[in-house]
């Protein structure tokens, strides 16, 4: 058996060791590998593991032995699932390993900007000390209003931290979650996104990327925010019109942004659509690592290996995600 794992920069020693210990020949490939090189690598592969690298129809069609595609992570936007289904190749992700972890990361980013931690620690590193001048004033989360765009498991965890933990008012916009479910999580359901944004001191994004949500936070939505409002995105970069976000921050029309995800990754200090946001003390640019903890990576590696062995042993692969793009599969899958 041969497995190919892309994006080896995301170190997963447990996955690699587990596959090799079972006798699988494992080839690891770097992030950003050209499609032609990936095609060459998978021509005799039984299993393909990916995290960020696009798995296109030509890649799938070039792998006659392929028994399954495993996303060792959550988002499946980069996989041509219809192409895999045409071949009867199951596609599976690992949806539950970092729900609480990513919520913690989003909350950490929010409170870091609220308390002006990046600006103050940078000043202390440079000057040795700062005095309590007006420019260093932070803000309380307690008594503030947090708006959630997306109220699934991660969003509801964020609501618990901010509401129960810090006594913030929590509003939620999510057409797919009913008011009763939101209320049980301490969230007030709002059906008008722009109306919610006008009320918020903080806005945190927790929704999937699809045709309906791409660019959901655009220029008009950003214009609704208070001049002091902070926006947090740990979900998908393309949920926000990033050019409009850069414009709003540079113009000072919003209070700041804490970002962990971007339409184009990796970031770069120059030549990137978000390059203008480097070195701003009201912006945190985190390198897509809010998921990256010891505990979450253990869960990711364990679940990924379980899915790999189901595929390699010819058993139905377990689909835990409720994403309809995965739930429509009918070949060699089972659902929980």
pLDDT for 1-16, tens place per residue? 999 999 999 999 999 9
- pLDDT given for residue 141 in this prediction: 98
Average pLDDT over residues 293-310: 98
Average pLDDT over residues 124-129: 97
Q: Residue 100's pLDDT band (boundaries 50, 70, 90)?
A: very high
- Distance of alpha carbon 302 from alpha carbon 27, whole angstroms: 19
Average pLDDT over residues 296-303: 98
- pLDDT given for residue 203 in this prediction: 99
The length of the chain in residues reads: 336
Average pLDDT over residues 44-53: 97
Share of the chain above pLDDT 90, in %: 99
SS3 per residue for the chain: CEEEECCCCCCCHHHHHHHHHCCCEEEECCCCCCHHHHHHHHCCCCEEEECCCCECHHHHHCCCCCCEEEECCCCCCCECHHHHHHCCCCEECCCCCCHHHHHHHHHHHHHHHHCCHHHHHHHHHHHCCCCCCHHHCCCCCCCCEEEEECCCHHHHHHHHHHHHHHCCEEEEECCCCCHHHHHHCCCEECCCHHHHHHHCCEEEECCCCCCCCCCCECHHHHHHCCCCCEEEECCCHHHECHHHHHHHHHHCCCCEEEECCCCCCCCCCCCCCCHHHCCCCCEEECCCCCCCCHHHHHHHHHHHHHHHHHHHCCCCEEECCCCHHHHCCCCCEEEC
Instruction: Give first-to-last CA distance, the chain, whole Å.
Output: 27
Nearest to 92 by CA among 303, 319, 332, 335: 319
- pLDDT given for residue 200 in this prediction: 98
pTM for this predicted structure: 0.93
* Opening angle at CA 273, ends 9 and 270, nearest 5: 70
Mind listing the pLDDT tens digit for each residue in 220-258?
999 999 999 999 999 999 999 999 999 999 999 999 999
> To the nearest whole number, what is the mean pLDDT of the chain?
97
- Distance of alpha carbon 71 from alpha carbon 194, whole angstroms: 34
Mind listing the pLDDT tens digit for each residue in 184-227?
999 999 999 999 999 999 999 999 898 999 999 999 999 999 99
- pLDDT given for residue 184 in this prediction: 98
Mind listing the pLDDT tens digit for each residue in 249-294?
999 999 999 999 999 999 999 999 999 999 999 999 999 999 999 9
- Distance of alpha carbon 316 from alpha carbon 301, whole angstroms: 19
Average pLDDT over residues 30-59: 97
The set of catalytic residues is 236, 265, 288
**Residue 331: left if φ>0, alpha if ψ -120 to 50, beta else—which one?**
beta
Q: Residue 110's pLDDT band (boundaries 50, 70, 90)?
A: very high
- pLDDT given for residue 73 in this prediction: 96
CA-to-CA separations, 15 to 11, 124, 253, in angstroms, rounded: 9, 41, 45
Share of the chain above pLDDT 70, in %: 100
Average pLDDT over residues 56-74: 98
In a 13 Å sphere around the CA of 129, the CA atoms on its Cβ side amount to: 2
Average pLDDT over residues 70-92: 97
Which residue has 């007006």 as its token pair?
A: 134
Average pLDDT over residues 13-41: 98
């Amino acid at each position: 058996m041969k497995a190919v794992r892309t994006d080896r920069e995301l170190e997963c020693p447990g996955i690699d060791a587990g596959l090799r210990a079972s006798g699988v020949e494992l080839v690891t490939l770097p992030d950003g590998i050209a499609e032609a090189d990936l095609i060459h690598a998978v021509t005799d592969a039984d299993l393909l593991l990916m995290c960020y690298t696009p798995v296109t129809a030509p890649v799938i069609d070039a792998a006659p032995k392929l028994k399954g595609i495993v996303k060792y992570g959550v988002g499946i936007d980069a996989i041509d699932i219809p192409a895999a289904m045409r071949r009867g190749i199951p596609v599976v992700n690992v949806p539950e390993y970092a729900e609480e972890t990513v919520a913690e990361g989003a909350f950490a980013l929010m409170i870091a900007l609220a308390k002006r931690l990046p600006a103050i620690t940078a000043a202390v590193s440079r000057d040795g000390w700062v005095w309590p001048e007006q420019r260093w004033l932070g803000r309380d989360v307690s008594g503030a209003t947090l708006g959630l765009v997306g109220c699934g498991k991660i969003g509801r965890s964020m609501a618990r931290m901010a509401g129960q933990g810090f006594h913030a008012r929590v509003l939620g916009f999510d057409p797919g979650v009913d008011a009763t479910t939101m209320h049980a999580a301490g969230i007030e359901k709002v059906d008008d996104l722009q109306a919610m944004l006008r009320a918020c001191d903080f806005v945190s994004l927790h929704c999937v990327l699809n045709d309906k949500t791409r660019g959901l936070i655009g220029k008009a939505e950003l214009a609704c925010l208070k001049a002091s409002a902070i926006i947090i995105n740990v979900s998908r970069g393309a949920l926000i019109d990033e050019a409009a976000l850069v414009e709003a921050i540079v113009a000072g029309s919003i209070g700041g942004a804490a970002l962990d995800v971007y339409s184009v990754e990796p970031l770069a200090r120059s030549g990137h659509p978000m390059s203008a946001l480097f070195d701003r003390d009201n912006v945190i640019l985190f390198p897509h690592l809010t998921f990256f903890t010891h505990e979450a990576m253990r869960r990711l590696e364990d679940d990924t290996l379980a899915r790999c062995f189901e595929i390699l042993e010819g058993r139905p692969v377990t689909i835990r995600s409720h994403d309809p793009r995965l739930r429509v599969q009918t070949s060699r899958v089972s659902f929980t």
